[in-house]
Each structure stands twice: as structure tokens, then as C-alpha cells.
Amino acid sequence: MSSYPEAGDICRWTRGKKGGEREARRKVKMIMEDTKSYIGKESPEFVFEVEKGNIRDFAVSIGDNDPLFHNEAYAGNSRFGRIIAPNTFSHALRGNKISLLKSIPPLRDRIPEKLLHGEHEIEYFRPLHPGDVITFKIRIADIFKREGTRNGMMDVVIVEVPCYNQHREKVLTYRQTFVIREE
């Protein structure tokens, strides 16, 4: 079992020794004429109803038996007063990303076989409850090429998805970085 890294070492541990410099050398940002026009493109608006059973099934699938995700009595007595969704449940707010990514011609034939989910970020504003109706659009925030550690050149697409509830309150924003390998 590896020894536990010291406080500042967490970043070095996760990036590897000299990871910062290596990444800077490797990162080649080339805006391709035929893809940059897709930056800012938005999907149609999607609507998602948060359901109690979906929350429970999601919690089961990640092996979390926290009663706040499925027990009405427990949730009723909690500081939230209701069942809430787990903190990565927003993965279910998918819309149709494949369709949006396939609308970028140079990437079309490589999706989904060469598609990898590289990074994911969530910014939280409000909890999600059963009965919430969430609306969102997927926006292409950036497209560029990058040389990978082991996969050669890759196309990188970043999407941004602000999500709103039925009261028009922002509940969360998520950002995904997709990597599309060339071979």
C-alpha cells in the first residue's frame, strides 16, 4: 500500500512528477477552420423530470444506501424535508449529446467508438428533489486538438450545460470534456 502523500503532494501525485511542465509542452491548441464555427452551438432545450425511483436506482447502482436518497420518512425528518438526489445524479441530465457531437463533421465517424469522457465538472446551486422539472441546453464551449499521453492526436470538445428547475432557478451547471481519439 502506498504511503499517504503530504498535503501539497496531492496535486503532484495526481499529475505525476513534472506533470505540469509535461502537459504544457504536450498541449497544442490548434483551432481548425472546419470545427471552430461550431463553438457556441447549442442543442435544443431538453426537459428532465426528477423521479423518486430514478434517484433510488441511481443510488443503488453506485452502492450508496444513504436513506436520504430513498426513505420518505427519514428524508421528511431531515434538514431538507424531502428526498434529494445524489451529488452526481446530474449525469442523468443528458439530453442528446451524441447527436450534438456527431453534428461536427470531422468527428462524426469516430463517435462513439473513439469517444472518451476526459473530465467532468459540476457547480452546485440547489438540491434536486423528486418532482423537479429541469430544463437545459448543451452548449459547445470549445473545440481544439491536443496531443495525448498515449493516444496520439486527439480532438477535444468541451460542453457546458446550465440546468434550471421549474421555478427558473439555476440548480447546477456541469461541464464535460470529451476526447475523440484519431485512431
Residues in touch with another protein (CB under 8 A): 1-2, 4-8, 10-11, 13-14, 54, 56-68, 70-71, 74, 78-80, 84, 86-88, 91-92, 94, 112-124, 127
Closest to another protein by CB, 32 vs 175, is: 175
Q: Within 10 Å of residue 154's Cβ, how many Cβ atoms? A: 20
For the bound state, the minimum distance from the C-beta of residue 122 to another protein, rounded and expressed in Å, comes to 5
Burial 71-95 (b: 16+ CB within 10 A, else e): eeeebeeeeeeebbbbeebbebbeb
For the bound state, the minimum distance from the C-beta of residue 37 to another protein, rounded and expressed in Å, comes to 26
Closest to another protein by CB, 37 vs 149, is: 149
For the bound state, the minimum distance from the C-beta of residue 71 to another protein, rounded and expressed in Å, comes to 6
For the bound state, the minimum distance from the C-beta of residue 115 to another protein, rounded and expressed in Å, comes to 8
Closest to another protein by CB, 40 vs 67, is: 67
For the bound state, the minimum distance from the C-beta of residue 97 to another protein, rounded and expressed in Å, comes to 9
Closest to another protein by CB, 33 vs 183, is: 183
Closest to another protein by CB, 114 vs 146, is: 114
Closest to another protein by CB, 4 vs 33, is: 4
- Give the integer Cα–Cα distance in Å for 72 and 95: 28
